[in-house]
Each structure stands twice: as structure tokens, then as C-alpha cells.
Structure 1
Amino acid sequence: MRRAAIRTSHGSPAGAERVAAAVRPDNTAEMTTRVEGETVVTTIERDATNGLQSTVDDYVVNLRVAAQLSDQPTQSNHE
């Protein structure tokens, strides 16, 4: 079994929670995502190195988008 742990800091626990909530729906059965303070930790386990690499690559793309969007100001639609 191959394993990778990806740790990213997001400046605050609230920011980390937003990012984790955004990436969790894309997790496969081999992935877990948790928040430790201002850090999001995702662990990925796969049988083969090439499968692990592919999953990590996909996750990092999703993580970048989630982090960028979580930094955007919240907009409200009040009429």
C-alpha cells in the first residue's frame, strides 16, 4: 500500500474548514480529509504508485480551486 499525506495551511480554522468542506465530496474510499487548526490534512492510500500519483494530482487541482474560492468575499443576495 502506498500512502501520501498532503498538509496545507489556510490562515485560520474557519478557512481550513471551508476548504475541507469543499474537497471532501470528491474524496474516494481511499481518501480521508480532516482539519487540524488552520491546516487541512488529506491522506490518500492506493495500491500502486501510479494510482497514488494520479489521485494526488487530481486532489491538488481541486485543493487549489477550493482554496482560491474560500478566499473570495461572501456575497449576499438581499433584495
Structure 2
Amino acid sequence: MNDAEIRTTHGSPATAVRIAAALRPDNTDEMRTCVEGDTVVTTIDRESIGGLQATVDDYVVNLRVAAQLSDQPTHDTNHE
């Protein structure tokens, strides 16, 4: 089994939670994502090194998008 652990720090626990929540729907059965303080930790286990590389590549793209979106201001959609 080949594995990788990716740890990224995001400045606050709340931001890390938002990013992890955005990433989890795309996780495969071989992936686990959790939050440790302000750090998102994802572990990937794959049978082949090629499969591991492809999964890590996809994850990094998803992570980049999630991190960029987490920096956007939130908008209140409740109009009173």
C-alpha cells in the first residue's frame, strides 16, 4: 500500500473546518480528512504509486479551490 499525508495550515480553526467540509464530498474511500486546530490533514492510501499520484494531484486542485473560496467574504442571504 502506498500512502501520503497532506497537511495544510489555514490561519484559524474555523477556516480549516470550512475547507475540510468543502473537500470531504470529493474524498474517495481511500481518503480521510480531518482538522487539527488550524490545519487540514488528509491521508490517502492507494495500491499503486500512479494511483496515489493522480489522487494527490486531484486533491491539490480541489484544495486550492476550497482555500480560495474560503477567503471570499460571506454574504447574508436572509433579507428581512
Instruction: Report percent identity of matched pairs.
Output: 73
Aligned-residue RMSD, C-alpha: 0.7
Give the superposition deviation at 1:76: 1.6
Alignment-derived partner of residue 53 in structure 2:
53
**TM-score normalised over the length of structure 1:** 0.97
Give the superposition deviation at 1:33: 0.1
Secondary structure (helix, strand or coil) at the match of 1:17 reads helix
Task: Output one character per residue of 1:2-30: Cα deviation in whole Å (capped at 9) or x when no partner.
Answer: 00000000100000000000000000000
Q: After the TM superposition, which segments of 4 or more aligned residues of structure 1 sit over 4 Å from their partners?
A: none
Alignment-derived partner of residue 20 in structure 1:
20
Alignment-derived partner of residue 62 in structure 1:
62
Unaligned runs of 5+ in 2: none
